[in-house]
Amino acid sequence: MGRGNTCVHGKYEGLYFIDRDHIEVDVKDDPKTGTRDFRFLGGMTSEDLCGSEWKYDPDESQANLARLLGDFMYDIHAWYPSFKRCEPSRLEHGARIIMENQLYCIAVEDNEWSLAVKLLQKGDGELEGLQRGWFDKYMFAIRKSLLKYLPDIGTYTGPWTSGRITKEEFAREVIERREKKHVS
Protein backbone atom coordinates (compact mmCIF):
# COMPACT_ATOMS: atom_id res chain seq x y z
CA MET A 1 0.00 0.00 0.00
CA GLY A 2 1.28 3.45 -0.79
CA ARG A 3 4.10 2.32 -3.05
CA GLY A 4 2.64 3.62 -6.31
CA ASN A 5 1.83 7.12 -5.07
CA THR A 6 4.86 8.81 -6.62
CA CYS A 7 6.22 8.54 -10.13
CA VAL A 8 8.78 9.92 -12.54
CA HIS A 9 8.01 11.75 -15.77
CA GLY A 10 11.12 11.74 -17.96
CA LYS A 11 11.65 9.30 -20.80
CA TYR A 12 14.81 7.92 -19.14
CA GLU A 13 13.84 8.14 -15.48
CA GLY A 14 13.02 5.36 -13.05
CA LEU A 15 12.39 4.58 -9.42
CA TYR A 16 12.33 1.86 -6.80
CA PHE A 17 10.63 1.79 -3.43
CA ILE A 18 12.02 0.80 -0.04
CA ASP A 19 9.19 -0.39 2.21
CA ARG A 20 9.05 1.19 5.65
CA ASP A 21 9.06 -2.41 6.93
CA HIS A 22 12.80 -2.39 6.19
CA ILE A 23 13.49 1.10 7.57
CA GLU A 24 11.48 1.62 10.74
CA VAL A 25 12.81 0.13 13.97
CA ASP A 26 10.95 -0.78 17.14
CA VAL A 27 12.72 -1.45 20.44
CA LYS A 28 11.90 -3.39 23.58
CA ASP A 29 13.78 -2.68 26.79
CA ASP A 30 14.26 -5.43 29.37
CA PRO A 31 14.38 -3.68 32.75
CA LYS A 32 15.68 -6.84 34.47
CA THR A 33 18.79 -7.21 32.31
CA GLY A 34 19.11 -3.67 31.00
CA THR A 35 19.27 -5.00 27.44
CA ARG A 36 17.49 -3.59 24.44
CA ASP A 37 16.05 -5.68 21.61
CA PHE A 38 15.65 -4.20 18.12
CA ARG A 39 13.23 -5.33 15.42
CA PHE A 40 12.29 -3.98 12.01
CA LEU A 41 8.65 -3.09 11.48
CA GLY A 42 8.40 -5.94 8.95
CA GLY A 43 9.44 -8.43 11.62
CA MET A 44 6.75 -7.42 14.08
CA THR A 45 3.80 -9.71 14.76
CA SER A 46 0.28 -8.43 15.30
CA GLU A 47 0.73 -9.17 19.01
CA ASP A 48 3.91 -7.06 19.04
CA LEU A 49 2.17 -4.18 17.29
CA CYS A 50 -0.87 -4.26 19.57
CA GLY A 51 1.08 -4.83 22.78
CA SER A 52 2.83 -2.27 24.92
CA GLU A 53 6.33 -3.80 25.14
CA TRP A 54 7.59 -2.71 21.73
CA LYS A 55 7.94 1.02 21.00
CA TYR A 56 8.70 2.75 17.74
CA ASP A 57 12.14 4.38 17.98
CA PRO A 58 12.46 7.39 15.63
CA ASP A 59 16.18 7.82 16.41
CA GLU A 60 17.04 4.20 15.57
CA SER A 61 14.83 4.37 12.48
CA GLN A 62 16.59 7.53 11.29
CA ALA A 63 20.01 6.00 12.02
CA ASN A 64 19.02 2.86 10.08
CA LEU A 65 17.91 4.94 7.09
CA ALA A 66 21.13 6.99 7.24
CA ARG A 67 23.20 3.75 7.24
CA LEU A 68 21.23 2.32 4.33
CA LEU A 69 21.51 5.49 2.23
CA GLY A 70 25.18 5.89 3.15
CA ASP A 71 25.95 2.34 1.99
CA PHE A 72 23.86 2.89 -1.15
CA MET A 73 25.72 6.11 -2.04
CA TYR A 74 29.07 4.41 -1.38
CA ASP A 75 28.17 1.61 -3.82
CA ILE A 76 26.92 3.92 -6.57
CA HIS A 77 30.04 6.10 -6.35
CA ALA A 78 32.31 3.02 -6.32
CA TRP A 79 30.65 1.62 -9.46
CA TYR A 80 30.15 4.98 -11.19
CA PRO A 81 32.65 7.56 -9.84
CA SER A 82 30.96 10.34 -11.83
CA PHE A 83 28.15 10.22 -9.24
CA LYS A 84 29.01 12.47 -6.30
CA ARG A 85 27.16 12.97 -3.04
CA CYS A 86 25.27 16.23 -2.76
CA GLU A 87 26.42 17.67 0.53
CA PRO A 88 24.31 19.10 1.80
CA SER A 89 21.46 17.39 0.00
CA ARG A 90 18.86 19.71 -1.50
CA LEU A 91 15.13 19.59 -2.12
CA GLU A 92 13.68 19.77 -5.62
CA HIS A 93 9.99 19.14 -6.34
CA GLY A 94 9.49 17.33 -3.02
CA ALA A 95 12.44 14.98 -3.48
CA ARG A 96 15.78 15.21 -1.67
CA ILE A 97 18.68 15.07 -4.16
CA ILE A 98 21.42 12.93 -2.59
CA MET A 99 23.75 12.26 -5.57
CA GLU A 100 24.32 13.62 -9.04
CA ASN A 101 26.52 13.52 -12.09
CA GLN A 102 26.36 15.54 -15.31
CA LEU A 103 23.42 13.52 -16.68
CA TYR A 104 21.33 12.46 -13.69
CA CYS A 105 20.33 13.13 -10.09
CA ILE A 106 19.49 10.41 -7.59
CA ALA A 107 16.79 11.51 -5.16
CA VAL A 108 14.78 10.06 -2.30
CA GLU A 109 11.18 11.00 -1.60
CA ASP A 110 8.81 10.08 1.20
CA ASN A 111 5.96 8.02 -0.19
CA GLU A 112 3.70 7.25 2.79
CA TRP A 113 4.51 3.56 3.46
CA SER A 114 7.75 3.56 1.50
CA LEU A 115 10.69 5.68 0.45
CA ALA A 116 11.08 6.25 -3.29
CA VAL A 117 14.62 6.17 -4.74
CA LYS A 118 14.51 8.04 -8.06
CA LEU A 119 16.87 8.38 -11.00
CA LEU A 120 16.00 11.79 -12.48
CA GLN A 121 17.18 13.26 -15.77
CA LYS A 122 19.01 16.57 -15.85
CA GLY A 123 18.46 19.14 -18.57
CA ASP A 124 15.53 19.89 -20.83
CA GLY A 125 15.93 17.03 -23.28
CA GLU A 126 19.26 18.08 -24.77
CA LEU A 127 21.02 15.23 -22.91
CA GLU A 128 18.55 12.46 -23.84
CA GLY A 129 20.92 10.71 -26.25
CA LEU A 130 23.56 10.30 -23.55
CA GLN A 131 20.96 9.52 -20.89
CA ARG A 132 19.48 6.74 -23.04
CA GLY A 133 22.89 5.06 -23.13
CA TRP A 134 23.35 5.13 -19.35
CA PHE A 135 19.78 4.63 -18.11
CA ASP A 136 19.71 0.80 -17.94
CA LYS A 137 23.18 0.66 -16.39
CA TYR A 138 22.29 3.14 -13.66
CA MET A 139 18.94 1.49 -12.90
CA PHE A 140 20.68 -1.89 -12.66
CA ALA A 141 23.25 -0.40 -10.25
CA ILE A 142 20.50 1.11 -8.08
CA ARG A 143 18.69 -2.27 -7.99
CA LYS A 144 21.94 -4.08 -7.24
CA SER A 145 22.86 -1.80 -4.35
CA LEU A 146 19.41 -1.72 -2.74
CA LEU A 147 19.03 -5.50 -2.94
CA LYS A 148 22.47 -5.91 -1.39
CA TYR A 149 20.97 -4.54 1.85
CA LEU A 150 17.23 -5.29 1.56
CA PRO A 151 15.24 -8.51 0.99
CA ASP A 152 13.10 -6.85 -1.69
CA ILE A 153 12.29 -3.52 -3.33
CA GLY A 154 9.15 -2.13 -4.93
CA THR A 155 8.79 -1.10 -8.56
CA TYR A 156 6.48 1.42 -10.21
CA THR A 157 4.14 -0.27 -12.70
CA GLY A 158 1.56 2.48 -13.17
CA PRO A 159 -0.62 4.96 -11.31
CA TRP A 160 -1.41 3.51 -7.87
CA THR A 161 0.12 0.15 -8.80
CA SER A 162 3.45 -1.40 -8.03
CA GLY A 163 5.43 -4.61 -8.27
CA ARG A 164 8.21 -6.17 -6.27
CA ILE A 165 11.72 -7.51 -6.97
CA THR A 166 13.25 -9.96 -4.50
CA LYS A 167 16.93 -10.77 -4.01
CA GLU A 168 16.29 -14.17 -5.60
CA GLU A 169 14.67 -12.66 -8.70
CA PHE A 170 17.54 -10.22 -9.03
CA ALA A 171 20.08 -13.06 -8.74
CA ARG A 172 18.32 -14.82 -11.64
CA GLU A 173 18.42 -11.56 -13.63
CA VAL A 174 22.18 -11.29 -13.05
CA ILE A 175 22.71 -14.89 -14.22
CA GLU A 176 20.60 -14.28 -17.33
CA ARG A 177 22.58 -11.12 -18.13
CA ARG A 178 25.87 -13.02 -17.80
CA GLU A 179 24.62 -15.83 -20.02
CA LYS A 180 23.49 -13.35 -22.70
CA LYS A 181 26.84 -11.59 -22.50
CA HIS A 182 28.75 -14.85 -23.03
CA VAL A 183 26.50 -15.92 -25.93
CA SER A 184 26.94 -12.68 -27.86
Q: How confident is the model at residue 42 (pLDDT cuts 50, 70, 90)?
A: very high
Q: Considering only CA atoms, give the Rg of the chain.
A: 18
pLDDT of residue 129: 94
Average pLDDT, the chain: 92
pLDDT at 184 > cutoff 80: no
Question: Pick the residue with more confidence: 56 or 2?
Answer: 56
pLDDT at residue number 140: 96
User: What pLDDT does 1 receive?
Assistant: 42
Q: Does residue 5 surpass a pLDDT of 80?
A: no
Please write the tens of the pLDDT for every residue from 122-169: 998 899 999 999 999 999 999 999 999 999 999 988 777 788 999 999
What is the pLDDT at residue 3? 59
Within 8 A by CB and 6+ apart from 124, the residues are none
pLDDT above 60 for 2: no
Query: What whole-number percentage of the chain has pLDDT above 70?
Result: 97
The amino acid occupying position 46 is S
Closest CA to 26 of 2, 51, 61: 61
The pLDDT assigned to 4 comes to 60
> At 183, phi and psi to the nearest 5?
-75, -40
Taking residue 144's Cβ as centre, other Cβ atoms within 10 Å add up to 15
pLDDT, residue 91, reads: 86
Does the pLDDT at position 83 exceed 60? yes
Task: Domain ranges for the chain, please list them.
Answer: 3-183
Distances 31 to 11, 37, 61, 181 between C-alpha atoms, Å: 55, 11, 22, 57
